[in-house]
Amino acid sequence: TPIIRVAIAGYGNLGRGAQAAIKQSPDMQLVCVFSRRDPASITLIDQSVPVYAMDDIAQYKDDIDVLILCGGSKSDLPEQGPALAGLFNIVDSFDTHAKIPEYFAALDIPAKQANKVAMLSVGWDPGLFSINRLYGEAILPVGETYTFWGKGLSQGHSDAVRRVDGVKSGVQYTLPSESAMARVRNGEQPTLSTREKHTRECYIVLADGADSDAVRNTIVTMPDYFADYDTKVHFIDQPTFEREHQKMPHGGFVIRSGVSGMDNEQNNQVLEFSLKLGSNPDFTSSVLVAYARAAYKMNLAGESGAKTVLDVAPSLLSPKSPAQLRKELL
Ligand code: NDP
């Protein structure tokens, strides 16, 4: 089988992660990277491929089998996705959950017209978590689905603590509540409030002369961000911050708790999927690369239009043949 020719559009955390993930894929070759910034200003983690200006992307139409969009969900993808879906098979990680139906429609039209596949909202949530919610619901129709996030670095909450007067540096982690998870795993199907599901932890370096009690109080009472949660605030020094809080860990749990059987003899059935990620963007990029392979194969088989992870047969994600997979995994 020929090597799949892949390109990356946008070179931030996901762009770097995608380049690394393609290197681990024997059936793929990175052709180039596109950026809206001056190509000469971009330093790739591996400099063996060229960087081109995003404005020139159309001229590479026939050199690329699938394009991985690594832009942000807020303003990059809503603009870039519909424009590029008419030129390439694309894959992206659009994660504004409420706007996915609208974004799906905006990709579907140009992708169908161009006979290309546009695979949206790939990653872990939305993405692998969505697939596991589907398995849970389909297999255990009588039950409840729970999602817990963490331990994870939250960018938005970290920005919020850094804006507090007296904070020099800071990060915020979201943690799932162990007691709530224990109840769910036990088959209780509890109704859980926001405060019961997750807790928040902040690691703060104080500015010179700042008052720790005042900073703690401002953080834990902050409306929308912290007031509805139990929040712990830890004060640390700058070297500890530099040493221990520079990574972007994340993860979480999807748990379906259901019952099977007739009314007179029911059994609790609990299905659980979990992720513990050392780097959120690196993992998300690895998911994008596996689905880039699937998008390419689906297009080869004659499919076109917008697709999500719910539309992809699992074997398409693998570089191995279906026969080899049946032998090794069943
Ligand atoms: P970044 O902010 O690192 O990168 C986004 C874009 O910003 C890049 O494509 C790049 O475009 C531009 N950029 C990057 N660095 C710089 C810089 N130094 N100066 C100016 N511009 C820069 O975002 P991430 O890669 O971390 O995340 C992208 C999206 O992934 C997020 O918005 C999130 O929605 C999504 N995501 C989805 C997940 C899921 O599970 N579905 C999980 C995690 C993230 P260009 O090169 O063109 O300038």
Q: Which amino acid is at 289?
A: V
Question: Which residue's CA is the closest to the ligand 1 atom numbered 14?
Answer: 12
Percent of the chain residues past pLDDT 70, beyond the cut: 100
Sort strands 51-53 and 28-35 into parallel, antiparallel or unpaired.
Answer: parallel
pLDDT band of 2, cuts 50, 70, 90: confident
The rounded Å distance from CA 103 to ligand 1 centre is: 18
Residues with CB under 6 A from ligand 1: 10-15, 35-37, 54, 70-73, 76, 93, 95, 123-127, 280-281, 284
Atom of ligand 1 nearest to the CA of 72: 32
The rounded Å distance from CA 206 to ligand 1 centre is: 29
Quick one: DSSP state of residue 252? E
In angstroms, the CA 131 to CA 76 distance is: 25
Question: Which residue's CA is the closest to the ligand 1 atom numbered 2?
Answer: 12
Question: 156 in helix, strand or coil?
Answer: helix
Query: With the C-alpha atoms ordered 284, 86, 75, 147, is the resulting torsion angle positive or negative?
Result: negative
ipTM of the complex model: 0.98
Residue 66's alpha-carbon distances to 85, 92, 319, in angstroms, are: 10, 11, 15
Question: Which residue's CA is the closest to the ligand 1 atom numbered 17?
Answer: 12
Element (H, E) at 257: strand 250-260
Q: At CA 262, angle to CA 256 and CA 265, rounded to 5?
A: 90
Percent of the chain residues past pLDDT 90, beyond the cut: 98
The pLDDT score that the predictor gives to residue 263 is: 87
Question: Which residue's CA is the closest to the ligand 1 atom numbered 26?
Answer: 13
The rounded Å distance from CA 221 to ligand 1 centre is: 30
Residue 320's alpha-carbon distances to 5, 27, 120, 202, in angstroms, are: 17, 9, 23, 44
User: Which stretches of the chain are DSSP H helices?
Assistant: 13-23, 76-84, 100-113, 128-139, 155-162, 178-185, 194-197, 212-220, 238-244, 280-300, 322-329
Taking only the tens place, the pLDDT of each residue in 11-56 is 999 999 999 999 999 999 999 999 999 999 999 999 999 999 999 9
The rounded Å distance from CA 307 to ligand 1 centre is: 21
Quick one: DSSP state of residue 182? H
